[in-house]
Structure 1
Amino acid sequence: MAFGIKRKDLVEWKKRIDRGEIAFLTHYWLDDRFPYANTVTKVGCSNLEKLAEWGRGHGLKPEWIHQRADGYSHFDLIGERQAAILQKEGLFETLNLKTRTH
């Protein structure tokens, strides 16, 4: 279940994807399959090869891309991998969202 996301942030994420950029969107999230995680970061791009290449640079496999018919295909990052990638990308503000809930 997703929550704590602002509509304007979702709209901006989609616009960046539409422009062919690598776009990040982090929000609170609960899923019984991942009891250790309370946030997820969706990393999307309309150019799937660009997204796959970005993912390979972070140790992600292209088959992990959640391919969506609406054009907003993305990787889902959770847990330690999420934190490591966000830190590497310099998205410290997003990391604060994650740590505020612990």
Structure 2
Amino acid sequence: MAFGIKRKELQSWKEKAKNEEISFLTHYWYDERFPDCHTVTKAACSNLQKLADWGKQYGLKEEWIHKRIPYPHFDLLGEKQIHILEAENQHHHIKRFSLYDRKGLK
């Protein structure tokens, strides 16, 4: 279940993904399988090959792509989420959702 995003943010994420850009959407999230994770970042791109190639640089496997057309995406969680957001200069996601504080990082 997703929490803490605005319709405009969701629309922007969808538009960028449709235009074959790597698009990021972070939101509060709960899944009992991951009790220590309170947020998820969805990294999406409508071009599956581009998304798979992008993910390889971060050790993400192609089979981890959620192939939900028209918005295939990786779910980024935990330390990997923070690492990728930093590398992609998506610091506003880290700040907005206090990801450093939640992971005991600074």
Q: Same fold (TM over 0.5)?
A: yes
Aligned residues: 101
Counterpart in the other structure of 1:97: 96
User: Amino acid of the residue matched to residue 93 of structure 1?
Assistant: H
Other-structure match for 1:77: 76
Q: CA deviation at 1:98?
A: 2.9
Percent identical residues? 54
1:55 aligns with 55
Scaled by the length of structure 1, what TM-score is found?
0.93
Partner residue of 2:43? 43
Would you say the 8 A contact 1:38–1:98 is kept in 2?
Answer: no
Q: Gaps (5+ residues) in structure 1?
A: none
Paired letter, 1:48: L
SS of match in other structure, 1:71:
coil
Deviation per residue, 1:47-68 (Å, 9 max, x gap):
0000000000111000000001
Letter of the 1:43 partner, please give it.
A
Provide the rounded CA distance (Å) in 2 between the counterparts of 1:99 and 1:34: 18
The answer to whether the 8 A contact 1:23-1:44 is kept is yes
Aligned to 1:22: 22
| Residue equivalent to 2:10 | 10
One-letter code of the match for 1:98? Answer: F
- Give the counterpart letter for 2:77 in structure 1: I
CA RMSD of aligned residues (A): 1.3
Deviation per CA, 1:18-65: give whole Å up to 9, x if none: 111110000110111111111100000010000000000111000000
> Which 4+ stretches in 1 moved above 2 angstroms?
none
SS in structure 2 at match of 1:43: strand
